Amino acid sequence: MRPDASPHLPLADELSVVFARMAGLLLSEETVATSLGLLSALVLETVPGAAGAGVSIVDEQGRRSAGATDRRVEQADALQYELDEGPCLAAVAGRQLVRVPDLATETRWPRWAAGAARLGLTAALSAPLVAGERTLGALKVYADTPGVLDAHTERLVTMAAAQAAIPVANVQHRERARRASDELRKALAARDLVSTAKGVLMARHGISEEAALGMLVARSGGEAGTLRQAARTVVDSAVRRRR
């Protein structure tokens, strides 16, 4: 156990310290990865006996780890995704806490347990991040001493995951909205570019809008690659002619 750990501090006091420090960042303009990195670091500091912490995210992009406090956590998580078994995946699927007191005697996920043990890990605890009907992933803690993740740890990690799920969901939502906005701007720019290219072809060849679009589509099937690239080539050629 680390000398700064405080297993006898009331649970509410421990969590108030964690979330007072986390709230500022989650309310700022930071990314999901940065926020989860802070969450993992705070959990590592707060949980007695923890040797590593991190978050497993399960969303439309698939399974991935974020905010891992060290390389061993990343490797243990990657092994779960590779083998499709382990406590984090079980916590997400079952939407409930999953504890592995001792990897040496774990029988539910023998391949993962053997691989994680080779990393020097001996115990694990995973709590789902649940926001409403959505399961975002799981908060996990690893230890290098068997049995150190006890009932107190379970309560602490469970409450931390429950409290963290909502702000993490909000940060994810903000990031998705930002990506959608960027994609919309790109789509509008591409549409305007195609419209400009059609105008150039109509003026240059005295053809209809439909015929101009047909020319662009035909060019996009060749070296131009895409309709947007074909439109860019036409507009650039018009600009060069004016010089």
CATH superfamily label, 11-178: GAF domain (3.30.450.40)
Helix axes 151-205, 11-26, angle to 10 degrees: 10
Q: Span 95-117, mean pLDDT?
A: 95
What is the pLDDT, as a whole number, of residue 217? Answer: 81
Asked if pLDDT for residue 123 goes beyond 80, the answer is yes
Domain coordinates in residue numbering, the chain: 11-178, 182-242
Distance CA(87)–CA(181), nearest Å, equals: 36
What is the pLDDT, as a whole number, of residue 209? Answer: 83
Asked if pLDDT for residue 60 goes beyond 60, the answer is yes
| Architecture of the domain whose range is 182-242 | Orthogonal Bundle (1.10)
Q: Span 119-146, mean pLDDT?
A: 92
Strand partners, 131: 134
Q: Span 218-231, mean pLDDT?
A: 71
Asked if pLDDT for residue 14 goes beyond 60, the answer is no
Residues 6+ apart with CB under 8 A from 119: 72, 75, 76
